[in-house]
């Protein structure tokens, strides 16, 4: 047999590569990775079963616990934020368990969909996209819905730019149902917006390296309270890759993982945590609060309407309504190609109706200013008066 016959699938012709210009990446994740974190990835590969990796895993874990404000182990998996959603569900519940999903947008819906896919009985408490969950309405509805094994809540809804008052919501769930498992999707909030896992009595909190952590995508982080670990012992949903107990055992024994971790993303996250501690947890919160305020004010100042113009507007992502007569896709294309400013479009029912400005993780206020200046310029050119 000749080599030609062996290779029935020919070598593909690929298109010429187009260099990517320096961009002002203003999407709500993956977020801009600062140069020293980018460079950290380029360190030589190491054995994930050796002492060099264990030292990194131990150091990263301790500092993740600080940002989570938890004494519980923060585990990591090579996965996206959606992996965090699935990891939470499969480790806590058994087929047929009743859970309540409080959803205010696309990612809340996704968490509920995963619960349904795994055979849970899911009741949704939905709020219109752009609104936060109203605690009084949640409380009233939960009282009717008891008993339930868990409550699924999004901290910061990336699709709409709305931050739920998790502390208040968690407190009322705990008062109504002391044993309910409170699952918090903190993918686009943790480290940017205050969240104290232990003192707020949250049971599962997960996030992703590509959001507030200034690192490339590839690592999902998740922590479970003692109550959640107890639930894990009897949770019968099938799982293996995302199983907590296997991970806990390996971390406890050797600071290793059951399967190969994303080593170079660990290098990045390790440096990111250095930078975050140097800046300080409260200073990071303050920078995000300023960013949220700045972007909202600038948008309103140029005559735009916010999807969420209320106290629960997010400090990590702002959703702006596309003005009448403007084509969202064309606007974002123009900004990307001509100004190298990259915004995100809307998802699901909001596609074409909004665009989103990410301001989480690594950014300076001058980058936000440049992005908003470019936006204003392009809108004015298109005839938008506001």
86 forms part of the interface with its own copies (CB under 8 A): yes
> Which residues, including other chains, have CB under 8 Å from residue 43's CB and lie 6 or more apart?
264, 267
According to the binding rule CB under 8 A, does residue 253 interact with its own copies?
no
Q: Tell me the HSE value of 119 on the side-chain side, using a 13 A CA sphere.
A: 9
Using CB under 8 A, which of 229, 241, 255, 294 touches its own copies? 241
The neighbour count for residue 173, using CB atoms within 10 Å, is 25
Considering only 32, 160, 189, 312, the residue that binds its own copies (CB under 8 A) is 32
User: Is 218 a residue that touches its own copies (CB under 8 A)?
Assistant: yes
- How many other C-beta atoms can be found within 10 angstroms of the C-beta atom of residue 238? 9
Question: What are residue 76's DSSP bridge partners?
Answer: 221
Does 27 bind its own copies (CB under 8 A)? Our answer is: yes
Lay out the site mask for its own copies across 335-354 (x = CB under 8 A, - = otherwise): -x-----x-xx---------
Give the rounded distance of the alpha carbon of 223 from its chain centre: 14
Which of 135, 345 has the CB closer to its own copies? 345
Residue 26 half-sphere exposure toward CB, CA atoms < 13 A: 30
Task: Give me the least distance between CB of 311 and its own copies, in Å please.
Answer: 19
- Please answer whether residues 242 and 90 qualify as being in contact, where contact means their C-beta atoms are separated by less than 8 angstroms: yes
Q: At closest approach, how far in Å is the CB of 256 from its own copies?
A: 12
Structure token pair of residue 190: 């943790």
Helix or strand holding residue 349 (H, E): none
Closest CA to 37 of 210, 257, 233: 210
Shortest separation between residue 276's beta carbon and its own copies, angstroms: 11
Nearest by Cα to 34 from 367, 386, 342: 367
Q: Which is nearer to its own copies, 174 or 336 (CB)?
A: 336
Considering the complex, state which of residue 11 and residue 136 has its C-beta at the smaller distance from its own copies: 11
Could you say whether residue 240 binds its own copies (CB under 8 A)? yes
Instruction: Rule CB under 8 A: say whether 123 interacts with its own copies.
Output: no
Q: How far is the CB of 385 from its own copies (least distance, A)?
A: 29
Question: Residue 281 or 300: which CB sits closer to its own copies?
Answer: 281
Q: Which of 75, 91, 99, 114 binds its own copies (CB under 8 A)?
A: 114
Site map for its own copies, 158-197, x if CB under 8 A? Answer: ------------------------------------x-x-
Nearest to 315 by CA among 171, 197, 185, 211: 211
């Amino acid at each position: 047999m000749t080599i030609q016959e062996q290779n029935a699938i020919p070598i593909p012709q690929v298109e010429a590569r187009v260099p990517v210009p320096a961009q002002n990446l203003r999407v709500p994740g993956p977020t801009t990775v600062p140069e020293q974190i980018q460079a950290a990835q380029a360190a030589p590969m190491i054995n994930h079963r050796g002492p060099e990796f264990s030292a990194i895993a131990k150091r990263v874990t301790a500092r993740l616990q600080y940002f989570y404000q938890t004494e519980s182990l923060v585990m990591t998996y090579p996965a996206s934020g959606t992996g965090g959603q699935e990891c939470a569900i499969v480790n806590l519940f058994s087929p047929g368990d009743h859970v309540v999903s409080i959803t205010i947008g696309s990612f809340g819906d996704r968490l509920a969909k995963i619960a349904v896919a795994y055979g849970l009985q899911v009741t949704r408490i939905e709020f219109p996209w752009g609104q936060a969950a109203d605690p009084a309405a949640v409380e009233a509805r939960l009282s009717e819905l008891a008993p339930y094994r868990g409550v699924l809540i999004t901290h910061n809804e990336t699709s709409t730019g709305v931050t739920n008052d998790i502390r208040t919501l968690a407190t009322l769930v705990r008062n109504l149902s002391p044993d309910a498992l409170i699952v918090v999707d903190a993918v686009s909030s943790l480290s940017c917006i205050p969240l104290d896992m232990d003192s707020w009595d949250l049971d599962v909190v997960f996030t992703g390296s590509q959001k507030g952590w200034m690192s490339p995508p590839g690592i999902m982080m998740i922590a479970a309270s003692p109550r959640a670990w107890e639930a894990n012992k009897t949770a019968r949903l099938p799982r293996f890759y995302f199983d907590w107990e296997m991970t806990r055992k390996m971390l406890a024994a050797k600071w290793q993982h059951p399967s190969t971790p994303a080593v170079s993303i660990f290098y990045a996250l390790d440096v990111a945590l250095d930078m975050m501690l140097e800046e300080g947890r409260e200073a990071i919160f303050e920078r995000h609060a300023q960013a949220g305020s700045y972007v909202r004010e600038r948008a309103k100042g140029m005559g735009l309407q916010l999807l969420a113009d209320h106290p629960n507007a997010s400090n990590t992502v702002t959703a702006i309504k596309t003005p009448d007569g403007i084509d969202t896709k064309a606007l974002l294309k123009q900004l990307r190609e001509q100004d190298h400013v990259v915004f995100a479009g809307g998802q699901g029912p909001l596609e074409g109706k909004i665009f989103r400005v990410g301001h989480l993780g690594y950014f300076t206020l001058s980058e936000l200013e440049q992005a908003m200046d470019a936006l204003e310029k392009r809108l004015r050119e298109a005839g938008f008066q506001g």
